[in-house]
Chain A
Amino acid sequence: MRHKRTNLETELRANRPQPSDEFVNRLEGRVREGRRSRAGSFRVAFAGSLAAGVLAALASVGGLGYASNATGEAVQKAKRVVKSSHGTAVVRKSPSRDQYGKPKVKKKAKKKAKKKAKGRAFARPPFTG
């Protein structure tokens, strides 16, 4: 009885219906393709969530303000460097200036208007010789 049952079980396993190789290959390809596309979207979602997590962590310790300050300073420094390299430098003290003369700087002479003293006249004592 035991032997018979074992035979039947073996037979059932051995004669298990098998799909055609073509069907297996086709379905396997579809499954792998489906997995790949899902894995791609999962990767994008993972990267996004990671970035959001980093931002949240930074914001919680004031890192965002620090980062924005640092960025602002860097921008200012970069601007300065760029400006000085492209702008016209005016040299005020140079041998050529000494040789060809300094540009005359016209100073407006202050006219000191003599104001007549108003009010009580000054009385000088008479010349007596």
Chain B
Amino acid sequence: MLRVDPLRNPEPLIRRVYGYVAYRIGDGPDAEDITSETFERALRYQKSFDPQKGEPLAWLIGIARRLIEGRPPTLELAIEVPDRSDGGDLEDVTLRRLALSGAVSRLEPRDRDLIALRYGADLTARQIAEELDLRTNAVEVALHRALGRLRAAIEEPGDPPVRKQGTAR
């Protein structure tokens, strides 16, 4: 049987793993460290990759998730977003980006993970379901609710969105 090399084309994989990690723990050197460590481990345990279980990206995201969950807790700095812009498209875009990052960072870990998997790593709902050992439908519902909470967090900066009792995870 021919062995499939999961790291044949690393560049797009690096970008997507970084996108996931940065949505989880914030953009910057920590995200770079986790991404590097993910690929180091992937190289070390390349033999453990089974193409029948999923695509290389899902495998790498699984490694990155375990690294994030296993790392010691660090002080996360809140992203401060200025109240208004003084003008200019670039500034507006930057402010909007900061507002989005800030809102994502204020989400609960579960919502943050879902958002990072869907929009950072660009995994499909089905791939996320396989990763989290859930049903695809449950993932879609959970994502829908996480997006609702994210929207609330963007509209009301500063107050962390509260999960209602009894909502599906």
Residues of A within 8 A of B (CB): 4-5, 8-9, 11-13, 15-19, 23-24, 27-28, 30-32, 34-35, 38
Contact = CB atoms under 8 A, between A and B. Distances in A.
A9 B19 contact: no
B127 interface: no
A8 to B, nearest CB: 6
B22 A23 contact: no
A34 B115 CA distance: 31
B31 interface: yes
A28 B17 CA distance: 13
Q: Is the interface of A mostly helix, strand, loop or mixed?
A: helix
Contact of A9 (B14, B32, B119): B119
Contacts of A23: 18, 32, 35
B46 to A, nearest CB: 7
29 contacts: A8-B151, A8-B154, A9-B147, A12-B100, A12-B118, A12-B150, A13-B122, A16-B19, A16-B122, A17-B101, A18-B19, A19-B14, A19-B15, A19-B18, A19-B31, A24-B15, A27-B10, A27-B36, A27-B39, A28-B10, A28-B14, A31-B10, A31-B39, A31-B43, A32-B10, A35-B7, A35-B43, A38-B43, A38-B46
A13 B10 contact: no
Contacts of B43: 31, 34-35, 38
Interface residues of B, number: 33
A8 B18 contact: no
A5 B147 contact: yes
Given A13-B119, A38-B46, A27 B14 contact: yes
A18 B28 CA distance: 10
A35 B39 contact: no
Nearest to B122: A13
B161 interface: no
Interface string B122-150: 10000000000000000000001001001
